Amino acid sequence: MEGKWNSKTGLLLWGGILGLVAAALAFMGNPGNMAFCIACFIRDIAGACKLHTAGVVQYMRPEIAGLVAGSFVISLLGKEYRSTSGSSPMIRFLLGMVTMTGALIFLGCPLRMVLRMAAGDWNAYVGLAGFVLGAATGCFFLKKGFSLGRAYDTRKESGYILPAILAVLLLLSILTPLFAASTEGPGSMHAPVAASLAGGLIFGAAAQRSRTCFAGGIRDVILMKNFDLLTVIIGLFAVMMVYNLATGGFKPGFAGQPVAHTEALWNMAGMYVVGFAAVLAGGCPLRQLILAGQGSGDAAVNVLGMSAGAAFCHNFGLASSGTGTTPAGRIMCVVCIAVLFIIGFSCKRKSDK
């Protein structure tokens, strides 16, 4: 059975499961073309925790807690849980901030990019070109010996911390009025809590078993001519396209797309940053959450960096909106690209120095 699920057909089925979860959440109330977006949901959680005050993007998204918990449980059951840490934590934190900056300039992570593509948003195809170029740049540095160093085994309890924190925050958001919650905008649009949590659990378990990673899919094609991870993404894309065609959500074009802008250069540049940073960090935002759920302290640090990046972007006017980018956001995007090149050239395996 395990072999069947790891075959090309099995990987397509895993992608189909991911697509069904995203479609169900969209049907039950999650924002249009944003059924499941890691960057957007982490940003909403940062807002709910009052780390930023953008009133339209504040909500304690249950999907994120469910995603990490799903990965945590399935990795324990599959004996793949392993608590590790210690591989350049501050650089990983910075890469998380950079990743979130690029995502909020584009308005979405690689997962949302694919969902937008499946709904006919041509801006997302422009973003895809940038994402592929960014991942290819990251692969160039991998070939040149880029490395953030070795992670070491730690106490198994260390890997429990992020799943526990997210579970407590979610519980407090349900039982108390401590957290901010949007009354309008994307943050006010969400599926019921139970459905969102269940969707996150299923998505996390499926993504863990299928090793889903959007940057990893491109990396594997470039470095190893291996298309396995892309097969999962194709399954996700196909299911979401069928859903959009069936429900009238497929609206091809550049203008009028939900929570998206039409500035092609910055859509491409934002996703270039995300692809580049994801390859250097060892995984896209979704993969970082999955790895954190299965015990990686390094991935957890990257997730914390994304949370800080979300707060930073909204507090200092870097994030884009449906009307376009901001001057500060465009400047920071260029700064992020420069930072990534500095990291790429600076961090090499000891044997290569």
What confidence tens digit (pLDDT) does each residue in 186-208 have?
999 999 999 999 999 999 999 99
What is the rounded average pLDDT of the residues 98-107? 98
Kindly list the domain boundaries of the chain, sorted by start residue.
Answer: 2-352
pLDDT for 352 = 44
What is the rounded average pLDDT of the residues 111-116? 98
Query: What is the CA 10 to chain-centroid distance, rounded?
Result: 23
Provide DSSP, 207-257. HHHHT--HHHHHHHHHHH---HHHHHHHHHHHHHHHHHHHHT----BSTT-
Which helix (H) or strand (E) element contains residue 164? helix 161-175
What is the rounded average pLDDT of the residues 44-64? 97
d(CA 292, CA 68): 7
pLDDT for 351 = 56
What is the rounded average pLDDT of the residues 107-127? 98
Confidence of residue 353 (pLDDT cuts 50, 70, 90): very low
Exposure string for 57-92, b = 16+ CB within 10 A, e = fewer: bbbbbbbbbbbbbbbbbbbeeeeebebbbebbbebb
d(CA 31, CA 195): 14
Number of residues written out for the chain: 353
pLDDT for 5 = 74
Q: Are 161 and 302 in contact (CB under 8 A)?
A: no
pLDDT for 229 = 94
pLDDT for 1 = 45
pLDDT for 6 = 79
**Number of DSSP helices (H) and strands (E) in the chain, helices first:** 15, 2
Structure-block tokens of residue 135: 């991942």
Which helix (H) or strand (E) element contains residue 19? helix 8-27
pLDDT for 45 = 98
Confidence of residue 349 (pLDDT cuts 50, 70, 90): confident
Percent of the chain with pLDDT over 70: 98
Which amino acid belongs to residue 15?
G
Name the DSSP class of 158: G
For residue range 214-248, list pLDDT tens digits in order: 999 999 999 999 999 999 999 999 999 999 999 99
- Is pLDDT of 133 > 80? yes
What is the residue-averaged pLDDT of the chain?
Answer: 96
pLDDT for 170 = 98
What's the predicted TM-score (pTM) here?
0.97
What is the rounded average pLDDT of the residues 113-133? 98
What is the rounded average pLDDT of the residues 81-98? 96
pLDDT for 8 = 87
Residue in 258, 225, 284 with CA at minimum distance from that of residue 38: 284
Structure-block tokens of residue 279: 């390859």
- Is pLDDT of 2 > 80? no
pLDDT for 32 = 78
Provide DSSP, 126-156. HHHHHHHHHHHHHHHHHHTTB-----EE--G
For residue range 255-285, list pLDDT tens digits in order: 999 999 999 999 999 999 999 999 999 999 9
- Is pLDDT of 104 > 50? yes
For residue range 8-35, list pLDDT tens digits in order: 899 999 999 999 999 999 999 999 789 9
